[in-house]
Structure 1
Amino acid sequence: MAKRGYHHGNLRQALVEAALGLIETKGPTGFTLSEAAKRAGVTPAAVYRHFEGREDLIAEAARQGFVMFADLMQHAYEKYQPSALAAFEATGRAYLAFARKHPGHYIAMFESGISVNRTPELAEASARARGILERAAAELSQHIPADRRPPASMFSAHVMAMSHGVVELFSRGDPGAQSPYAPEDLLESGIGIYLRGLGLIDPD
């Protein structure tokens, strides 16, 4: 009987989907290429026609994740224009929504240890996602005097770090049960404190 892998309609994508499922259950370093091949229904040898190793497979999962992530952030950002504040807050909510809906992609993107510069395609997708956040930050902070205005890249990095912390501690898996507040409320209040510190919103 012929091996299933030789007749697979889209083996490369099937392997990515298999890897995403394994990443969710075992983590990015907790599975082998053989396991991914078995889940995709092909022989381990067939994997190497598309990926040199597990890290290349995870990098492709991360690239696809960043494409989806950027699309979601762009949609959230544009939906609330022309209000710079509403658009900025929407990107934060979109971050949490993505992490919750696509945990395998999220882990591959942010927790696998794979450099975003591993491939030009991965770097491009990551840069596009960061660029949306930086643009939102730049528009929101344009009225701050130049000598007190943080660089947009720093501004957006702070918010990404805050968002990632909420995801890790209170939004995914068992740790989420430890918070007496909804992750969205935690992030909104944290961003509010940050923006008040910059003078971008009025004190309560």
Structure 2
Amino acid sequence: MSKRGYHHGNLRQALVEAALDLIREKSPQGFTLTEAAKAVGVTPAAVYRHFQGREDLIAECARQGFVIFADLMEHAYQTGQPSALASLEAVGRAYLAFARKYPGHYMAMFESGLSLNANADLCTVANRASAVLERAAQALSRHIPPEKRPPVAMVSAHIWAMSHGVVELYTRGTPGARAPFPAEDLLETGIGIYLRGLGLIPADA
């Protein structure tokens, strides 16, 4: 990691960017505040003017990541319309694209052990992202009688889990990444099988 060098400007954001670099290189648990401070050329004491500690710094990395994540998912949802299925598939692809393009944010969000419920800002932006999936699930179930519809929150949670699993197994450089199929194809096929099983899309969709 090259030293960023901090002179004038937004030290708080410079520390976030340095932390994101360190998270990518060492994991959220693998770096110290001293390393983040050194990367931007300030003393460790200067960090505490902006963050209460390392966890607070990681939480800000995660918060910014969730903002980007939610923006991407909302854009993907709108791009996929008018088909509810196309919108849901576009959101899934956006999940994979985010993990590839913003690995430091992704790791801060999902691999740091942060409690969303303990941080109001994190919870708010994370809920904005999950709400996109819930809207897509709701749109898919409109043709089913209310008494037969699966819970929207359950469907969106399953799609989220499926997307997350594909990211972890096939886009993060782990042994499973050597799958013979593109991650996008694996996710879209899995979503299709799942939705057909619930009766949310016809067998030939």
**Is the structural similarity TM-score above 0.5?**
yes
Number of residue pairs aligned between Structure 1 and Structure 2? 200
TM-score by length of 1: 0.93
Structure 1 stretches lacking a partner, 5+ long: none
Contact 1:92/1:163, CA 8 A, preserved across alignment: yes
- Deviation at residue 86 of structure 1 after TM alignment: 0.8
Fraction of identical pairs, as percent: 71
Counterpart in the other structure of 2:54: 54
The residue aligned with 2:74 is 74
Aligned partner of 2:128 in structure 1 is 128
Offset, 1:145: 2.3
With 194-203 and 56-65 compared, the bigger mean Cα shift is at: 194-203
Q: CA RMSD in A?
A: 1.4
Q: Which runs of 5+ in 2 are unaligned?
A: none
CA contact (8 A) 2:137 2:152 kept: yes
Contact 2:51 2:57 in 1 (8 A): yes
Please tell me whether residue 41 in structure 1 is matched to residue 45 in structure 2. no
Correspondence for 2:85: 85
Partner residue in 2 for 1:169? 169
Instruction: Report the AA paired with residue 189 of structure 2.
Output: S
Structure 1 residues 40, 176: CA separation in 2 closer, same or farther (over 3 Å shift)? farther
More off after superposition, 13-22 vs 115-124: 115-124
Matches within 5 A, 1:111-150: 111-150=111-150
TM-score normalised to the size of structure 2?
0.93
- Cα pair 1:59 1:118 within 8 Å, conserved: no
Distance 1:97 1:157 in 2: 19
Instruction: Give the C-alpha shift of residue 42 in structure 1.
Output: 1.1
| Residues 124-159 of structure 1: CA deviation (Å, up to 9, x unaligned) | 111111111111111111222223312111111000
